[in-house]
A and B are shown apart, each in its own frame.
Chain A
Amino acid sequence: MKEGQGLDILLLALKPGADYAAFDEAEWDVLLRLARASDMLARIAQRTCACSATVPACIAPHLLSARRLAERQHRELELELKVIDRVLSEAGVPVAVLKGTAYVLAGLDAAAGRMVSDIDLMVPADLLPRAETALMMAGWISANRDAYDQRYYRTWMHEIPPMQHINRGTVIDLHHNILPPTGRIKLDASRLMDSAVPLPGFLGLRVLAPHDMVLHSAAHLTHEGELDTGLRGVADLDALIREFSRQAAFFDQLFVRAVELKLALSLYQALRLAQHFLSTPLPQGWLEQLAAASGCDPGAVRQVFLGRCWEAAVPPKHSMLRQRFAPVARSILYLRGHWLRMPPGLLVRHLSRKAVRAVFVSGEGREKT
């Protein structure tokens, strides 16, 4: 197989209107493997189901299996969120659900076949201790006992260490912001909370407003150092844009909000990726205006280089794709992710600590610090 050919098949299958009946068994073989590697088999399965596509008899069971697994996750997610909703509303803590959890609960197109492993929640920073206590009383306890990790999360991150339910094993990532407080971009999370939209059927759960949801998705993609599910993030963004663009004045609101929250550059970079991989439709000239408003020159060496890094790092890791530049790109983005997250002095301390630990305590349950 020629370099990149496998990725073309995956991208083709992820775009709306894909002609699944046109794939032969060998192409499905490639597609299934890459879809598994990028955690998007259920998404493709859901699409084939929605358009009643004819697929070879040997493929259909795998698609059914992936769909069942995703459906079960979504069902579980809704049950867990019923509990969380009750617990946090009793504690008087306003809460917004984020990312995959939000897509599923809000019934967005991005939820179709979206695998959700953790429950992402955001509460106001000053109510974080109260939220943590309430969730702990309901059975979610901090799974991480490492003192450094605890301090790392609590002092410098926008979330506390993951909390796992003692019986059911579900994991909550409790955030108080969508970006770290030590990072280059300071974001006032209360503005996101204020515009959040109540979820029908729940006591107090909310989801971010459409423009904020898109901005979070973009910021996550461009600030996160680890891109193991990078392509899934791009597909999320693509699905959000395609769905929300049906709302009147959506792009105008998105533009204003991006500038207001100083996330115009992130949004520009993320949408470039979405266009590169999935041809995400945007209004004519809109992206160029966004670039201008972000105060950066898209043609500058730095931006072009970063773009190349993402393009190389976003596709799934798989031996079928010969990705010569990808490991380098991933390392560069990993370091950049940390660079954006904390000031230089802290960064040096944190990374050297991690390096020492990697040598002496290899293979133990590692968190994504």
Chain B
Amino acid sequence: MSVSVITVRRLKDISLPDLGRQLRGVGVRLRVSPFVVTIRSDIPVVAEGLSVLYANHEVLSVAEGFSDFHVAVISRRGWGRSKCVFQMDGVEPFTPLAINEAFAFLEWGLNWCVTSQCHQWITLHAAVLERGGRAVLLPAPPGSGKSTFCAALMMDGWRLLSDEMVLLDPKTLLVTPSVRPISLKNRSIDLMKERAPQGRFGPVARDTLKGTVCHLAISDESLEKADTPATPAWIVFPRYQRDAGLSVEPRGRASALAELFSNCFNHQVHGREGFRAMVRLMAQVKAFDLVYDDLEAALSWMAAQVDAA
């Protein structure tokens, strides 16, 4: 009797030309936990980006089973330069973008799929990482250095659950990982390339609405634990400020709740129940404002919190 070995097919097992062909044809179906996503695109930069940033993600058959989202980034000829559009099942929620932004557009589009369709969770605009079984939420406005800090933490051995979106269960208060690349902007791209030469970086999109954008692949450890949720223990509001030294201030619960609320995509859907869930969350976490000018010092402070807990 033979024992059948189930081997997982990964995206890196497909050659780039084959990947391009599949993307132009029936599409490629990836397990991007907690979702299964089917992607089509006729744009080479999308194939390149996927092959680098999703190399270790599992590929599934498009011929059978279920896919949470059917998305496409398709080129479109206009009057001037050709552009690209993002589609979820034929719906185009955004205006077209320049073709060099196609991969970043796919990532932004997938974020939209989650925030517009997935109200099984409270969704928060924040990065979330875990160490020693405890998770830290990093809500912060653009430009505060959230993604840089998040990438540095991941490189420092924290498990990344998401750099953009917290999927919080309103009952259990557990955070579900969504294992996708980290979006880096402007100066943080070079900074991270220097800090993490072993990291896998995707295509660079210049002159986007957010400036220059480049994605960094999620660490293997984070991807392996894609199905393991985490319990929040800290909320840290990070802010990079030149020559500020390191300053840490505890943040009051009410103020932290208010700020978390303003970073919530769907609190109106969850209503009172959602509000109560967030209040319960506040009771179980410590909240801090973290201002830093040196990443190393900020990382050590974070490590010290883990050791102290």
Contact = CB atoms under 8 A, between A and B. Distances in A.
B66 A58 contact: yes
Contact of A75 (B36, B68, B118, B271): B271
A25 B66 contact: yes
A37 interface: yes
Contacts, number: 50
Interface in A169-211: none
A154 interface: no
B89 A65 contact: no
Nearest to B89: A33
A319 interface: yes
A317 B89 CA distance: 10
B89 A36 contact: yes
B269 A37 contact: no
Contacts of A65: 117-120
A64 B268 CA distance: 15
Given A65-B119, A65-B120, A75-B271, A59 B90 contact: no
Report the contact-size class of chain B (Cβ under 8 Å from the partner).
10 to 19
B18 interface: no
A165 interface: no
Interface of A: 25-26, 28-29, 32-33, 36-37, 56, 58-59, 61-62, 64-66, 68-69, 72, 75-76, 317-319
B64 A37 contact: no
17 contacts: A25-B64, A25-B65, A25-B66, A26-B64, A32-B66, A37-B91, A58-B68, A59-B66, A61-B120, A62-B117, A64-B119, A65-B117, A65-B118, A65-B120, A68-B270, A69-B119, A318-B90
B119 A68 contact: yes
B206 interface: no
A36 B87 CA distance: 14
Given A36-B89, A68-B269, A26 B65 contact: yes
Interface in B66-100: 66-68, 70, 89-91
Contacts of B68: 58, 62
Contacts of B64: 25-26
A48 to B, nearest CB: 14
B90 A58 contact: no
Nearest to A76: B268
Interface string B271-300: 100000000000000000000000000000
A36 B65 CA distance: 18
A28 B66 contact: yes
A32 B117 CA distance: 12
A127 to B, nearest CB: 33
Given A26-B66, A29-B65, A37 B36 contact: no
B276 to A, nearest CB: 15
Contacts of B91: 37
Given A26-B65, A66-B119, A72-B268, 6 more contacts: A29-B66, A58-B36, A64-B120, A65-B119, A65-B120, A319-B90
A339 B186 CA distance: 56
B271 A72 contact: yes
Given A61-B120, A68-B270, A37 B89 contact: yes
Contacts of B90: 37, 317-319
A125 B65 CA distance: 54
A58 B119 CA distance: 14
Nearest to B34: A61
B244 to A, nearest CB: 38
B287 to A, nearest CB: 27
Given A29-B65, A65-B117, A72 B269 contact: yes
B66 A33 contact: no
Nearest to A25: B66
A29 B62 CA distance: 11
Contacts of B65: 25-26, 29
Contacts of B269: 68-69, 72
